[in-house]
């Protein structure tokens, strides 16, 4: 295991073992907001997003699940405008959880705004460039979407040391290698899951504890 990798069991283990909630912790960053950003073909009501939203609400953490428009035919400009509408200029109290196409959309948004600090970035099935095996889905041209993104990896790295990439070893949509390349570029902590698929509800993921553990780390 290299310095970017870590064991899921260590994530948030102090809170879990002690029974202390985020809100009760003296180290908890007050007034933080977690933004959940879905991907292609999804809504905030799909997959593990509602579960994460509910857990955050139960811990009295502000949470915003961003409804990106027309997700089966995403319009790059419309998605960026929606991110701007819901996020504005982020700061160290903002933590981002993004999935799939939402990851590269978020990274472009943050690269464009250049905030000095954010609280953390959690990328699930993430990628930061064209994926040769994924030029399109149905009638949606992914390459054309990706070509409009401009990601400044150095700028992203400078925003936070709390960057996590959650990667499935058998992802049939975003090639695991693409996620690993992104993780290396961002000097991210890596969580690998053997049979995660694309972390969809159809893959059995209506909950994703690894994300929750990473969120805990970002909020401490």
Catalytic positions, please? Answer: 100, 171, 198
Contact 100, 48 (CB under 8 A): no
**CA gap 18, 21 in Å, rounded:** 9
Signed CA dihedral, 98, 101, 103, 107: sign only: negative
Q: Copy the structure tokens of residue 56.
A: 């955050």
Angle at 94 between CA 93 and CA 100, to 5 degrees: 160
**Farthest-apart Cα atoms in the chain, separation:** 50
Partnered with residue 99 across adjacent β-strands are: 124
Task: Count other C-beta atoms under 10 Å from residue 191's C-beta.
Answer: 23
Task: Count other C-beta atoms under 10 Å from residue 107's C-beta.
Answer: 27
**CA gap 56, 66 in Å, rounded:** 15
**CA gap 101, 123 in Å, rounded:** 10
Angle at 80 between CA 176 and CA 69, to 5 degrees: 85
**CA gap 210, 194 in Å, rounded:** 13
């Amino acid at each position: 295991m290299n310095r970017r990798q870590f064991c899921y069991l260590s994530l948030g283990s102090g809170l879990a073992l002690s029974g202390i909630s985020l809100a009760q912790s003296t180290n908890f960053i007050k007034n933080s907001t977690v933004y959940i950003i879905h991907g292609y073909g999804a809504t905030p009501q799909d997959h593990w997003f509602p579960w994460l939203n509910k857990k955050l609400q139960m811990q009295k953490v502000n949470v915003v699940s961003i409804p990106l428009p027309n997700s089966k035919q995403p319009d790059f400009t419309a998605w960026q405008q929606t991110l701007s509408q819901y996020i504005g200029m982020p700061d160290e109290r903002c933590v981002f959880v993004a999935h799939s196409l939402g990851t590269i959309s978020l990274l472009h948004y943050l690269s464009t705004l250049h905030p000095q600090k954010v609280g953390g970035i959690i990328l699930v099935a993430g990628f930061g460039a064209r994926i040769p095996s994924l030029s399109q889905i149905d009638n949606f041209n992914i390459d054309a979407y990706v070509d409009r993104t401009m990601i400044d990896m150095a700028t992203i790295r400078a925003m936070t040391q709390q960057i996590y990439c959650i990667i499935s070893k058998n992802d049939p949509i975003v090639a695991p290698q693409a996620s690993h390349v992104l993780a290396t570029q961002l000097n991210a902590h890596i969580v690998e899951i053997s049979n995660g698929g694309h972390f969809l509800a159809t893959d059995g993921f209506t909950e994703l504890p690894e994300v929750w553990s990473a969120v805990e780390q970002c909020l401490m």
